[in-house]
Amino acid sequence: MGYVAIADRDHEEEHHDPDTFITKYIWSQDHKVIAIQYGITAIFVGVIALILSAMMRLQLGFPDTFSFITPENYYQFVTMHGMIMVIYLLTALFLGGFGNYLIPLMCGSRDMVFPYMNMLSFWVYLLSVIILLASFFVPGGSTGAGWTLYPPQAIMQGTPGTDWGILLMLASLGVFIIAFTMGGLNYVTTVLQARCKGMTLMRMPLSVWGIFIATVLGLLAFPALLVSAIMMLLDKTVMTSFFMPAISSMGQVPENYTGGSPILFQHLFWFFGHPEVYIVALPAFGIVSDLLSTHARKNIFGYRMMVWAIIAIGGLSFIVWAHHMYVSGMNPYFGFFFATTTLIIAVPTALKVYNWVLTLWEGNIHLRVPMLFAIGFIFTFIHGGLTGLFLGNVTIDLPLSDTYFVVAHFHMVMGVSPVLVVFGAIYHWWPKITGRMYNETLGKWHFWMTFLGTYAIYLPMHYLGFQGVPRRYFAMGDTDFMPASAQDLNAWITIFALFVAFTQILFFVNVFISLKSGKKADPNPWKATTLEWQTPDTPPKHGNWGHELPVCYRWAYDYSVPGYPDDFIPQNVPPEEAPAGRQHGVAEH
Amino acid sequence: MSEAVAEPQGSAGVVHDWSRDKQVFGMPWGKAMMWFFLLSDTFIFSCFLVGYMKVRISTTDPWPNPSEVFGLTVFGQSVPLLLIAIMTFVLITSSGTMALAVNMGYRKDRKKTFWLMVATAALGATFVGMQAFEWTKLIMEGVRPWENPFGAAQFGASFFMITGFHGMHVSAGVIYLLVVAFRVRSGFYEKRGGKYEIVEIAGLYWHFVDLVWVFIFAFFYLW
């Protein structure tokens, strides 16, 4: 008996349109509403993280000036800023936000496969955010252990927030992982099992590929974080000794800890932590590919190579984790192994960068706001990627590891780059999400001030790193090896950090103006080929496609095909009506 | 939709599956999702076991001998690992009744499916009960997460954490099986197209929990 795909079964087609305000906008099971809920929550915590970073910079740029920033506060700001940005903003926004919005629309599905679980995913995520933010208000404040939460110091007296802050942080991470798992299983199953007719994997837009592989990474990497969080909770609450060796603190042996392994935590944490880098980066790679191709009116260069590069990066990301631990000490052969795998990952990554540049080559480039952000991403990503090659080598990493060089490196590659893509993607899909256009001029100002501002922040930071200025310090004080000019540079960096932070107001102004009085958007303002622009309604209604599901006839990149009047052919235009562009290995049915 | 053409077999079949439209795996959404979840859960238990192995290696105190600690004295004779052997037998047996339930589910024999699932759940509950007995025994002997009279403190910590996490999985599975079983009996799935894939999906979870126990048994009790 032939198995009939679920999407083709009659009884699966029935859809109950939600009619009350609450089922439509609050307890909604519609993937688009859930995506917006995820997006708003993630951006909200992101703003908090931005404010925290501004406070850190105030202290570093002008030490002894602000009495409200104590050393304890400073470490709490560092910790919360890092954790929020990496997990609660970027992971949640790329996968929960863009993943939710784009996967069903780009794959031609009506919704995620299990909408109810998808809704639970958001509410559990919101709970994790509330637990996280609650830790600001408990006695002792939030944890100040650094975003990596290394034991023993994370749970020992002397670190800020060892009473309640660390407990809430670990609990919040556990809850977040539950939320992510519920969402992630939905995204993976939807991509693999619920595409529309004609949509093969090798016809999917690269955005979906990036989000899909990132979700797979998340499902396999977050378990390590969950386990390390559980073990640390046990170490903290019931005095087990998983991570805690016999230890003396401030001249006495305070606890009956004995025989645990702090290095074990580092291994577990980075077995999660390194794939996490690519959980954030791969969706950015995918989205940027689509932005470049659409706004350059040219097919993406080397689509298959791009897909396999995403898969290769995803696979390699699981065998490079110990490059975060060179200074922890390890067998030199392990160092050699992890340095090698780390440098190998540069191959598929460089391949993607070449392909982005080649996509622009001889394209009909429209420098609209999303395109500016996409091109800006190529700059910052190359920049951060190249410094990554330095840090991947054991001998170069050792002296640089505890300096601002590392801070500059990962903010370039993992902070600025994905955030530029986030903005580019929001501008790109804004007309589809809201049905309104934004102000192009404001958007351009937003881009240029952010882009140039970040260079003014992070280029000097590399130099500070070469000078040996240590990271994580509350104040540098009088140190012989640091020239006095280091402090001047720190003040410069702070001024531009505040400048960039305030620049983001332009974005919110743009959002409000657009929502209030923006021009009504064309269903397909960028003349893009992918399915989400071909919906019968803008913004798409519940069920996305009206009565009939779309049929996909071609890959996502038929731009400027010779012999066709338009310079783009949407994926749902049949071959009889338009020339086939480039064909891709499609199984015939 | 007609599936007139015979699907290719072997490696060509794999290529065909992955390059076709709509779906990769010829199975319902729920079943595919359960497989993905179990893959993720595998990583959780792997991390637990690897973490346990690492602390067992790194601790400075001697590791207790599991055959002695987990031995039972029956009729004046000390039998090593007796309780664990019975627990393992019970859990493996429950996998057998579960497999029968899946078969009966696809035959739409609701009554037999129901009773076989209830039997599976009962065996699972027995397992949890025996685990509670084992925990009580060890706690009476002074084993705590932070210390124990037999040797390294990590012994108690790893034991309670890993068997506790597995026991939670079994308990959740018992509840899950009972919910599905009573829905099978009440005809809940008849109104939804009369499909009993859900029995197999619950079964996948149950077999996974059994398989994990085999690894815990091998790495914690036999090593």
Backbone phi and psi for residue B4, each to the nearest 5 degrees, phi listed first: -75, -40
For A115-130, what is each residue's pLDDT tens digit? 999 999 999 999 999 9
CATH of the domain at B167: 1.20.120.80
User: Is it the case that residue B188 has pLDDT exceeding 70?
Assistant: yes
Which chain B residues are Cβ-neighbours of A184 within 8 angstroms? 40
B59 touches chain A (CB under 8 A): yes
Is residue B132 in some structural domain? Answer: yes
Six-digit token pair at A496? 């531009």
Integer angstrom CA distances of residue A202 from A6, A537, A558, A559, A582:
21, 27, 14, 17, 12
For B42-93, what is each residue's pLDDT tens digit? 999 999 999 999 999 989 889 998 888 888 877 877 788 888 999 999 999 9
Q: Please identify among residues 10-29 of chain A the ones whose CB lies closer than 8 Å to any CB of chain B.
A: 11
Q: What is the 3-state secondary structure (H, E, C) of A349-377?
A: HHHHHHHHHHHHCCCCCCCCHHHHHHHHH
ipTM of this model?
0.94
Which chain A residues are Cβ-neighbours of B36 within 8 angstroms? 185, 188-189, 219
Which chain B residues are Cβ-neighbours of A261 within 8 angstroms? 54-55, 58
CA gap B153, B134 in Å, rounded: 18
Chain A nearest-CA distance from B123, in A, is: 28
Beta-carbon contacts below 8 Å between A and B: 164
CB contact under 8 A, A260 and B26: no
Is residue B160 in some structural domain? Answer: yes
CA gap A71, A153 in Å, rounded: 16
Question: Coil, helix or strand for B6?
Answer: coil
Please tell me the predicted confidence (pLDDT) of residue A330: 87
Six-digit token pair at A57? 């910079």
Mean pLDDT of chain B: 91
Helices (H), A62-164: 71-83, 100-107, 115-134
Name the one residue in this structure whose structure tokens are 């024999």. B109
Please tell me the predicted confidence (pLDDT) of residue B191: 84
Q: Please identify among residues 222-241 of chain A the ones whose CB lies closer than 8 Å to any CB of chain B.
A: 222-224, 226-228, 230-231, 234, 238-241
Q: Print the domain residue range for B46.
A: 21-222
Is residue B202 in some structural domain? Answer: yes
Peptide bond preceding A539 in cis form (omega within 30 of 0): yes
Integer angstrom CA distances of residue A515 from A24, A373, A431:
19, 21, 10
CA gap A289, A306 in Å, rounded: 9
What is the chain B residue with the closest CA to A108? B22
A249 touches chain B (CB under 8 A): no
Nearest to A223 among B40, B58, B157 (CB): B40
Per-residue pLDDT of chain A (589 residues; tens, 9 = 90+): 345 555 555 444 445 566 777 777 888 999 999 999 999 999 999 999 999 999 999 999 999 888 889 999 999 999 999 999 999 999 999 999 999 999 999 999 999 999 999 999 999 999 999 999 999 999 999 999 999 999 989 988 889 999 899 999 999 999 999 999 999 999 999 999 999 999 999 999 999 999 999 999 999 999 999 999 999 999 999 999 999 988 887 777 766 788 899 999 999 999 999 999 999 999 999 999 999 999 999 999 999 999 999 999 999 999 999 999 999 988 999 999 999 999 999 999 999 999 999 999 999 999 999 999 999 999 999 999 999 999 999 999 999 999 999 999 999 999 999 999 999 999 999 999 999 999 999 999 999 999 999 999 999 999 999 999 999 999 887 788 888 889 999 999 999 999 999 999 999 999 999 999 999 999 999 999 999 999 999 899 988 998 889 999 999 999 998 888 899 999 999 988 887 766 554 433 3
Chain B nearest-CA distance from A404, in A, is: 32
Q: Please identify among residues 116-175 of chain B the ones whose CB lies closer than 8 Å to any CB of chain A.
A: 145-147, 152-154, 156-157, 161, 165
H/E stretch holding A216 reads helix A206-237
A264 touches chain B (CB under 8 A): yes
Is residue B147 in some structural domain? Answer: yes
Nearest Cα to Cα of residue A364 among A533, A559, A566: A559
Please tell me the predicted confidence (pLDDT) of residue A287: 97
**CA A136 to chain CA centroid, nearest Å:** 24
Is residue B94 in some structural domain? Answer: yes
The dihedral built from the CA positions of residue A396, A397, A401 and A405, taken in this order, carries a sign that is positive
Is residue B74 in some structural domain? Answer: yes
CB contact under 8 A, A188 and B19: no
Chain B nearest-CA distance from A391, in A, is: 27
Nearest Cα to Cα of residue A255 among B89, B153, B223: B153
| Number of domains observed in the structure of chain B | 1
The dihedral built from the CA positions of residue A347, A367, A432 and A294, taken in this order, carries a sign that is negative
Nearest to B157 among A5, A203, A240 (CB): A240
Q: Please identify among residues 94-113 of chain B the ones whose CB lies closer than 8 Å to any CB of chain A.
A: none
B18 touches chain A (CB under 8 A): yes
B1 touches chain A (CB under 8 A): yes
Neighbours of A26 (CB within 10 A): 12
What is the chain B residue with the closest CA to A2? B3
Which chain B residues are Cβ-neighbours of A185 within 8 angstroms? 33, 36-37, 40
Which chain B residues are Cβ-neighbours of A234 within 8 angstroms? 145, 157, 161
Is residue B9 in some structural domain? Answer: no
What is the chain B residue with the closest CA to A191? B23
Please tell me the predicted confidence (pLDDT) of residue A577: 86
Which chain A residues are Cβ-neighbours of B23 within 8 angstroms? 5-7, 192-195
Answer for the pair A293, A559: CB distance below 8 angstroms, yes or no.
Answer: yes
Is residue B15 in some structural domain? Answer: no
B182 touches chain A (CB under 8 A): no
H/E stretch holding A306 reads helix A303-316
Buried b (16+ CB within 10 A) or exposed e, A554-580: bbbbbbbbeeeeeebbbbbbeeeebee
What is the pairing mode between strands B77-79 and B72-74?
antiparallel
